[in-house]
Amino acid sequence: MLRVLSSPRRMCTGLTRRDLLQAGGLGMFGLNLENFLRLQSVQAAAAKQHTASGFGKAKRCIVLFLYGSPSQLETVDMKPKAPLEIRGMMQPIASNVPGLDVCEFMPEMAKIMDRLTVVRSIHHQHPIHGVAYAMTGIPSSDVGMELNPFDPAHHPYFGSVVEYLDRCRRKGRVAGFVQNVALPFAFSSQRSDQPLRAGPYGAFLGGAYHPLWAEFIGEGTKLLTKSRPGFSFTGKDPYLGCTPDSHFRAAATRPLPELSVDRLDRRRTLLEQFDQSRRDGEQTPPSRSLPKFQETDFSLISSPKVSEALDVRLETRETRELYGMTLFGQASLAARRMLEAGTKLVSVFWDEFGLAGDAWDTHANLFPRMKDQLLPSWDKAYAGLILDLERRGMLDDTLVVCISEHGRSPKLNNAPGGGRDHWARAYSALFAGGGMARGKVVGATDKHAGDVSERPVSPKDILATMYSTLGIDPHTRIPGRDGRPVPLVPEESEVVTEMLA
């Protein structure tokens, strides 16, 4: 029987031998396992002929996830003719694609829009911070699930599925290099006022398919005070700027640095959650990638090649400054280095730092935060990544996805500095390389960017398209928690062919 990570019940087809025997597939027709798997391969090859033209164009992928959700109205779907309470205070500038204006604080990205596809018509029914909903096949979610990574209803993260299927193709053997990496630190671990958030974990595939988390080594250069009712944080935020000696290392391979009492308390909380979850029999998202550390080849994870790839200090000053000396910029650079070293998928999260309600969650102080904290760093990092991939000959076969969990409300609220609240009825995302079209806009919204008016696209359609470009049939099924086949995305999901070259 095919064994994947010593699991005799699970097969990469999404069925178990018992399932097949019960269905009569093997017993009635004498179809042995070897022939069944060969048949699956033939069926998959036939399916490719009917799949969108971009199938398999990407050899690797970088996911840039802007947690908290940027406003479509202050980025790539501006409405300058709308009333002031809708359009806000920022002005559009022309990009190098006729008719595709961007925010005035995105001058570097304006120069590279001819390399991108912008999708303006993503929508769904869950206006919550749903990383799990946006990046897994789970058909629905709620706040309770998003604040509980251990909920058994969760589905595995996109990167976890890619790694799992890659290992299936290798008949259970580990690849020659780590295949699923996340930066800049364990997700939602750098704030102390709320529990861990769900999303980038292996779920029912098991802890071996959590991403290998990096650890940020360095510090910020700009002191900042953040506050919300009942909580405050004062410190140097590396997303605003980081020191030249800043770099990353694999969190599971090196001893912990000296911790402040604050950080130690947060780390202890993470470990306590891990221990409790293990006692409860659930898979957990530990801060130090412990299941992966245990279940994959230790020599692979601890390889000097991994440490070297994560060490952005080995790059020239010019290249580092191309991305910007910020946490997001340097993490994006590390992602490119990991791909060059052999990783298939790297996720870079613009995460909360200091307290919850941070990052792109702009309920208040929208305009100063976008102008001074968010747009400049994103503009520099994203443009630098695309240009660097291009000059290295990597862009055509590297899928770059810049996405979030939802958008922001069309009408400004009355918060100090202006603010926009959660809005899932219409928002935008950016795509480049790996079979994506260039200089194209897919979909449209109404005059207030509040509802989709043309070519509605769901987050599951986006995932289906991402799977397809990586050569994975999005309607593949994998074994769920009880061994029964679970689709990667809901059955109604479709590849968005308009996005493809």
Q: Are 122 and 426 in contact (CB under 8 A)?
A: yes
Here the tokens at position 248 are 């990353």
| DSSP codes, 400-415 | EEEE-S-EE-SS--SS
Determine whether 418 is exposed, middle or buried from the number of CB atoms within 10 Å of its CB (0-12, 13-18, 19+). Answer: buried
The helix (run of H) or strand (run of E) holding residue 250 is: strand 247-250
> 3-state DSSP helix/strand/coil percent for the chain, to nearest 5?
35, 20, 45
H-helix segments, 250-395? 261-279, 290-295, 298-301, 304-310, 317-323, 327-341, 366-369, 375-391
pLDDT at 300: 63
d(CA 157, CA 400): 17
Residue 194 sits at the vertex; the CA angle it makes with 192 and 199, to the nearest 5 degrees, is 110
Residue 228 φ/ψ, nearest 5 degrees: -150, 165
Q: What residue has token string 């193709």?
A: 169
Question: What Å distances lie between residue 412 and 182, 279, 281, CA to CA?
Answer: 34, 46, 45
The answer to whether the CB of 164 falls within 8 A of the CB of 209 is: yes
SS3 88: coil
Per-residue model confidence (pLDDT) at position 364: 93
Length of the chain: 501
Q: Which helix (H) or strand (E) holds 143?
A: helix 143-146
The distance in angstroms from the start CA to the end CA of the chain is 41
Cβ atoms of 361 and 354 within 8 Å: the answer is: no
User: Can you tell me whether residue 135 is helix, strand or coil?
Assistant: helix
Domain ranges of the chain: 17-499
DSSP 22-80: HHTHHHHHT--HHHHHHHHHHHHHHHHHTS-TTTT--SEEEEEEETT---GGGTTS--T
Decide if domain 17-499 falls under CATH 3.40.720.10. Answer: yes
Separation CA 104–CA 107 (nearest Å) = 6
User: pLDDT at position 466, please?
Assistant: 98
β-strand 422-423 against 247-250: which pairing, if any? Answer: unpaired
pLDDT tens sequence for the chain (501 residues) = 222 332 333 345 444 333 333 333 333 333 333 433 443 444 455 454 445 578 999 999 999 999 999 999 999 999 999 999 999 999 999 999 999 999 999 999 999 999 999 999 999 999 999 999 999 999 999 999 999 999 999 999 999 999 999 989 887 777 788 999 999 999 999 987 677 899 999 999 998 899 999 999 999 999 988 877 777 889 999 999 999 999 999 885 433 333 333 443 444 444 444 344 434 434 443 333 444 444 445 556 667 899 999 999 999 999 999 999 999 999 999 999 999 999 999 999 999 998 888 899 999 999 999 999 999 999 999 999 999 999 999 999 999 999 999 999 999 999 988 999 999 999 999 999 999 999 999 999 999 999 999 999 999 999 999 999 999 999 999 999 998 999 999 999 999 999 999
CA 442 from centre of chain: 21
What's the angle, vertex CA 90, arms to CA 88 and CA 96, rounded to 5?
A: 130
Q: Which of 465, 496, 467, 459 is nearest to 69 (CA)?
A: 459
Cα–Cα distances in angstroms (integers) from residue 353 to residues 193, 337, 359, 406, 448, in the given order: 11, 24, 7, 20, 31
CA distance 195 to 83: 39
